[in-house]
Amino acid sequence: MGRPSGGRCLGCKDADAVIDLARHRTRYCGECFVDHIRTQVRVAIDAYGMLRYDDEILVAVSGGKDSLALWDILLDMGYNASGLYLGLGIGGYSTRSERIVRDYAERRGVKLHVEDLAEEYGFDIPDSVKHPRRSDKKKKNGVGRAACGTCGLSKRYVFNKTALRHGYDVMATGHNLDDEAAQLFGNVLRWQTEFMARQSPMLPASEGGLARKVKPLYRLTEREMAAYCVIKGLDYVVEECPLVEGNTVMRYKDALNELERAAPGTKAHFLFGFLDRVRDEHFDQGQHFDTSLVPCADCGLPTPAHQPGQTPVCAFCRTRGRLLQLVDRPVGDDAAETSPPEQDVNA
């Protein structure tokens, strides 16, 4: 069977198809496509035992297609899922993102935690562009590196802290097949074996204070998630973050997209082959998941044990400390050590 183009849905074989999926060599009407999305999420959840129906789930929602679609899918599948939006201070982009997330939470009548990086921790993501690390300054297009590195670090920190503070059982993120394949591609190019060993659709909780993390969309592409939002009528921020220029992962995605166009299914074969046949056979999981964790001296959250004699300070607190020395913005005392003020929407 060749690549489908137009015609009837190959699921119900009755309605007109609205999307073709070359990787699956099929095409679907809107209703069958939504069923396909939920089926793929169910396969992902069951394969790794990601979620139970009595779990309290915290979904990181940015206003983009992937995280909003994930929240929508989990709610429609009957899971108890709340949202967390973190304000990053990226001008109109962040303003639109927050409005979209708030509107969705109000429409569905679900709980949304809203936090603001600048108000609670004293810096925002544009500050990292104004004051990049020395290593970023030496590289062409270092802006994207500084912004994306600080953004990812901040999201992981606040996400984990919020989940622990409110007693959530599991954290869910909207990382999709394109994201995971690009991450693996970069790790292979650099032979970053520690990162390769830890790459998984699910990371277990740690007794040291790290909540369980899951990625239920890892079997679905960006295109599929965009189509899901269109079919379900979900409003989302379409434009890329204005600070993403120079981001290395975007170049990896472009390279993989070229391969995918020539041979549909390349990204899935690459990622699933690694997860199913390579990672567990060739990497020592215990060596990387059993890393000793100790409390950060600044905030108390877990961080890998440092060299003897060194004060253990987590990466977020180190980055925050550096930026607070450079930015001119008032911040409350000990923002990282105490529970910052937070808005609960539709609690």
Q: Give pLDDT tens digits for 186-226.
A: 999 999 988 899 899 999 988 767 889 999 999 999 999 99
User: How many other C-beta atoms lie within 10 A of the C-beta of residue 105?
Assistant: 21
Q: Is the pLDDT of residue 238 over 90?
A: yes
pLDDT at 15 over 80: yes
Q: Residue 22 — left, alpha, or beta (φ > 0 → left; ψ -120 to 50 → alpha)?
A: alpha
Q: State the average pLDDT over residues 179-186.
A: 97
- H helices, E strands: number in the chain: 15, 11
Residue 337: pLDDT over 50:
no
Q: Other C-beta atoms within 10 Å of 91: how many?
A: 12
pLDDT surpassing 60 at residue 338: no
Largest CA distance in the chain: 70
* Confidence (pLDDT) at 305: 80
- For position 132, what pLDDT does the model report? 62
Q: What is the pLDDT of residues 63-100, one digit of tens each?
A: 999 999 999 999 999 999 999 999 999 999 999 999 99
Q: What angle do CA 318, 324, 330 make, to 5 degrees?
A: 140
Mean pLDDT of the chain: 88
Report whether pLDDT(142) > 50. Answer: no
Please tell me the predicted confidence (pLDDT) of residue 329: 61
The pLDDT of residue 342 is 54
Find out whether 296 and 312 touch, Cβ atoms under 8 Å: yes
Local confidence band at 293 (pLDDT 50, 70, 90 cut-offs): confident
pLDDT of residue 341: 43
Is 145 a residue whose pLDDT tops 80? no
Q: Which amino acid is at 274?
A: F
The pLDDT value given to residue 284: 65
